[in-house]
């Protein structure tokens, strides 16, 4: 929603596709769409990417210059028990979009990936690092999407930027993310489940910084071998989008406690299967391409989220 809102505010026409799936509360998704419906230049189609025929028709009708693909079945833990859904949504859905864009070419296709593709490699993660050992099925589906997109970029001269996001948080975010779950539980006086707290560190990235990074990259169309994140044989580039400043899980919880004004009751638990112990991005390429590096502090970002949460849920 936030990237569409920014583009609409800047005067662009935006055509959205949102299947409004029940992976989490559809009413939150519809509330996001209602915000976008205020703009006359916004059109939405409630279509899943798995519907190849409808997707192809809508991409052709939109005649877009730039396509930003942010749809996926998200989350590491849920992929353990919903494997087929993840493969269908993430791999088949992305393939259908690539086919649609091949039939109706665009100037730039921008696709969401994840820090999870790096697996357990040494940090900070660089775009040139090998990403051959995903720890979860979710990560594997996103890496498969990257590889398929690269092949299409090479075969059909399709400019593709693959954006590897690092723990995005902020207002209107996903309820299955820790920020959302912890805030809800602390406000309700319920305990929070804290996994691997002694080791876990995350490169948290505030949503408005992510929006700025995406909009700054729209005109940075890749060319073969053009920079350190680019493919040598295709107009394809991988870019980390992150703050580049990992935060200990205990410090993250403390920031939420400060914003809420209440201490959390904690249940300390071991690491979950498929979870990465640490994420940290090298953001030199993003800075070189756009002159921008996400800089919203965790304290400011958490305060903004908690204020939104209180207002939205009357908490």
pLDDT at 284: 96
pLDDT digits (tens, 9 = 90+) for 105-130: 999 999 999 999 999 888 999 999 99
Q: What is the pLDDT of residue 23?
A: 77
Q: In this structure, what token pair is assigned to residue 121?
A: 């490699």
Three-class SS of 128-175: CCCCCCCCCHHHHHHHHHHHHHHHHHHHHCCCEEEEEECCEECCCCCC
Q: What is the mean pLDDT of each run of 10 residues along the chain (315 residues)?
A: 94 93 86 95 93 95 95 74 86 96 96 95 93 91 97 97 96 91 95 86 96 96 87 96 94 96 93 86 96 93 97 87
2-166+205-244+280-296 fold: Rossmann fold (3.40.50)
Catalytic residue ranges: 138
- Give the whole-angstrom CA distance, residue 136 versus residue 147: 17
Cβ neighbours of 145 (radius 10 Å): 25
Task: Quote the CA–CA distance of 310 and 117 in Å, as a whole number.
Answer: 34
Distance between CA atoms of residues 72 and 74, nearest Å: 6
128's tokens: 């040139």
pTM of the model: 0.94
Task: Report the pLDDT value the prediction gives residue 93, as an integer from 0 to 100.
Answer: 95
């Amino acid at each position: 929603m936030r990237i569409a809102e920014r583009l609409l505010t800047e005067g662009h026409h935006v055509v959205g596709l949102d299947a409004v799936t029940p992976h989490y509360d559809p009413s939150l998704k519809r509330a996001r769409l209602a915000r976008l419906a205020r703009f006359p230049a916004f059109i939405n189609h409630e279509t899943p990417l798995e519907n190849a025929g409808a997707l192809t028709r809508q991409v052709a009708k939109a005649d877009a210059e730039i396509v930003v693909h942010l749809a996926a079945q998200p989350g590491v833990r849920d992929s353990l028990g919903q494997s087929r859904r993840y493969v269908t949504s993430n791999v088949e859905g992305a393939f259908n979009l690539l086919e649609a864009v091949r039939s109706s070419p665009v100037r730039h296709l921008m696709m969401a990936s994840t820090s999870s593709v790096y697996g357990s490699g040494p940090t900070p993660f660089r775009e040139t690092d090998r990403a051959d050992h995903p720890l979860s099925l979710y990560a594997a589906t996103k890496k498969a999407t990257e590889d398929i997109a690269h092949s299409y970029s090479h075969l059909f001269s399709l400019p593709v930027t693959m954006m590897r996001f690092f723990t995005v948080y902020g207002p209107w975010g996903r309820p299955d993310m820790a920020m959302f779950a912890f805030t809800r539980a602390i406000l309700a006086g319920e305990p929070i489940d804290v996994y691997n707290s002694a080791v876990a560190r995350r490169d948290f990235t505030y949503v408005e910084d992510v929006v700025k990074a995406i909009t700054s990259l729209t005109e940075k169309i890749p060319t073969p071998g053009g920079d350190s994140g680019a493919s040598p044989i295709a107009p394809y580039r991988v870019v980390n989008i992150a703050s580049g400043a990992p935060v200990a899980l205990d410090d993250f919880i403390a920031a939420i406690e400060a914003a809420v004004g209440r201490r959390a009751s904690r249940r300390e638990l071991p690491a979950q299967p498929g979870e990465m112990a640490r994420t940290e991005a090298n953001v030199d390429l993003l800075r070189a391409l756009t002159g921008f590096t996400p800089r919203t502090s965790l304290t400011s970002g958490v305060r903004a989220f908690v204020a939104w949460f209180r207002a939205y849920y009357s908490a």
